[in-house]
Amino acid sequence: MPVRLIDSLASTEPFAELFSDASVLRAMLDFEVALARAESRLGIIPVAAAEAIAAAADPNAFDIADLSRNTLRAGTPGIPLVKALTEIVRSKDEAAAGFVHWGATSQDVSDTALILILKRAQPLLDADLVRTEGALHTLSEKHKNTTMLGRTLLQAAPPVTLGLKAAGWLGALRRGRERLNQAFADALVLQFGGAVGTLAALGDRGAVVAQELAAELKLACPDAPWHTHRDRLAALMCACGVLTGSLGKIARDISLLMQNEVGEAAEPGGGGRGGSSTMPHKRNPIGCAVTLAAANRMPGLVSSYLSSMVQEHERGVGGIQSEWPTVAVVMQATGLAAASIAEIAEGLSVDTSRMRGNLDANHGTIYAEKAMIQLAVKLGRDKAQRLVEEAARQAIEHNRPLAEVLAEMPEVTKHLDRAALRQLAVAEDYLGSAEFFRSRLVETARADATHHRPDAKD
């Protein structure tokens, strides 16, 4: 389904569909049908009743607008859903109507429906994250020897490689994906507790029904119902927040590299993406923009969910009612950020000549640390620092190369000959352990991906 206009910068179409009225209704009906089937197999309700309930659970038979209005009055979507389903069943089979929702409570419906929707969200997210990991791995390998300015506090600093930068993005993404998948694994559990979490309406068979119901829905069965224990969902929301923050960091870096004054990289454009309504020359970082918007919203959304965790006794007041909209927008924001960064990573263009030009445009002052370290061995750190600071000041003031200024300072030339000074501004000679760190990040990500592949064997 198309994204609502007001949400068009906050969701993708697949995630809009996932949290649409039709999707939520389908998930709630799936719970009711699965419950009836599980109970019929165990001999708790008649098989004919389960069949009647399944036949009645056609989303097209329900008035979603009416369900929405009645949900506001009931405080939960479960109550009007069960009432409407019961009436549809009754119209076909009076006896079967009495077995709708047998032994469950309204929160069982809404919580499990939410879990079923989240189960469908995981592969959507993971597909985009896998795409991004692959693209970043390729980028890092291709540019492992591409030197560029390091930047600290947005100022020019000693050189790094684009390969290391991309590997850093990859490492954070891989860690975030691992946290997210673990959080999903923990959260995708059945909620089925009845009125107060004891399933007393089912006598001594509640636990058996729960196991059968979980199997029917292909969800894990928890040790006990979790009506007011929201920690698993909270961990999932936090994992989304951390992941989206990491995606936002990638977007921030790329959008800064896209500035005209920098011009070292650019996200893909075309097809109406990144244009301006008044300035035809512009190529705006739109993928970065929507990713950053998602990352900016996320802390408040996660905080909102954490606030809702404090729920009273066996069933709370207000906490559960606040969660559905929060979970929906958290997942949609995460999905949008993941899809946007995947598109950017796969289509990122890199201007290596501009990177080299920016390296060379700083009068060699980015190598001041290198000169200071070489002199400190002979002069001590403090004296070396003062000499190089003065040389850097003169280089900037008079628009001269740092090495040239240093060559005119007797205290420097006593210890650094002209060959050493000529070598000062060679970026490739001042990369330290960049390649070691890059390759380690890439190998760790590759090993993690291999270990967690569906066909991988321990």
**pLDDT tens figures, 182-193:** 999 999 999 999
The catalytic residue among 315, 354, 400, 446 is 315
The DSSP H or E segment spanning 17 is: helix 13-18
Model pLDDT, residue 320: 87
pLDDT at 85 over 80: yes
Model pLDDT, residue 153: 96
Grade residue 451 by pLDDT with cuts at 50, 70 and 90.
low
Give the closest residue to 178 by CA, choosing from 116, 231, 250, 239: 239
pLDDT at 276 over 80: no
pLDDT at 273 over 80: no
Give residue-wise pLDDT tens across range 381-405: 999 999 999 999 999 999 999 999 9
Model pLDDT, residue 281: 54
In the predicted model, what is the mean pLDDT of residues 312-338?
94
In the predicted model, what is the mean pLDDT of residues 5-27?
95
Domain ranges for the chain, please list them.
1-104+193-221, 111-189+226-360, 365-424
Model pLDDT, residue 228: 95
Same fold, 1-104+193-221 and 365-424: no
Q: Does domain 111-189+226-360 have CATH number 1.10.10.60?
A: no
pLDDT at 448 over 70: yes
Model pLDDT, residue 59: 96
Contact indicator for 181, 126 with CB cutoff of 8 Å: yes
The DSSP H or E segment spanning 265 is: strand 265-266
Contact indicator for 350, 143 with CB cutoff of 8 Å: yes
Which has the higher per-residue pLDDT, 276 or 155? 155
Give the closest residue to 425 by CA, choosing from 372, 370, 355: 370
In the predicted model, what is the mean pLDDT of residues 156-165?
97
In the predicted model, what is the mean pLDDT of residues 194-208?
97
pLDDT at 277 over 60: no
Model pLDDT, residue 284: 87
In the predicted model, what is the mean pLDDT of residues 66-89?
96
Give the C-alpha separation, 364 to 37, whole Å: 74
In the predicted model, what is the mean pLDDT of residues 89-118?
97
Grade residue 275 by pLDDT with cuts at 50, 70 and 90.
low
The catalytic residue among 276, 303, 349, 353 is 276
In the predicted model, what is the mean pLDDT of residues 264-280?
68
Average pLDDT, the chain: 94
Assess whether 276 carries a catalytic annotation: yes
Give the C-alpha separation, 277 to 365, whole Å: 40
Grade residue 458 by pLDDT with cuts at 50, 70 and 90.
very low
Of 17-21, 439-443, 444-448, where does mean pLDDT reach its minimum? Answer: 444-448
The DSSP code sequence of 371-440 is HHHHHHHHH-HHHHHHHHHHHHHHHHHTT--HHHHHHT-HHHHTTS-HHHHHTTT-GGGG-TTHHHHHHH
The DSSP H or E segment spanning 158 is: strand 155-161
Grade residue 279 by pLDDT with cuts at 50, 70 and 90.
very low
Model pLDDT, residue 271: 62
Model pLDDT, residue 51: 98
Max avg pLDDT among 281-285, 418-422, 445-449: 418-422
Q: Report the share of the chain in percent with pLDDT over 70.
A: 95
Q: Which residues contact 47 (CB under 8 A, 6 or more apart)?
A: 40
pLDDT at 234 over 60: yes
- Give the class (CATH, top level) of 1-104+193-221: mainly alpha
Give residue-wise pLDDT tens across range 290-301: 999 999 999 999
Q: Measure the CA angle with vertex 77, ends 180 and 337; round to 5°.
A: 30
| Assigned CATH topology for domain 365-424 | Ribonucleotide Reductase Protein R1; domain 1 (1.10.40)
Residue 453 half-sphere exposure toward CB, CA atoms < 13 A = 9
In the predicted model, what is the mean pLDDT of residues 252-259?
97
Assess whether 315 carries a catalytic annotation: yes
pLDDT at 366 over 60: yes
In the predicted model, what is the mean pLDDT of residues 355-383?
94
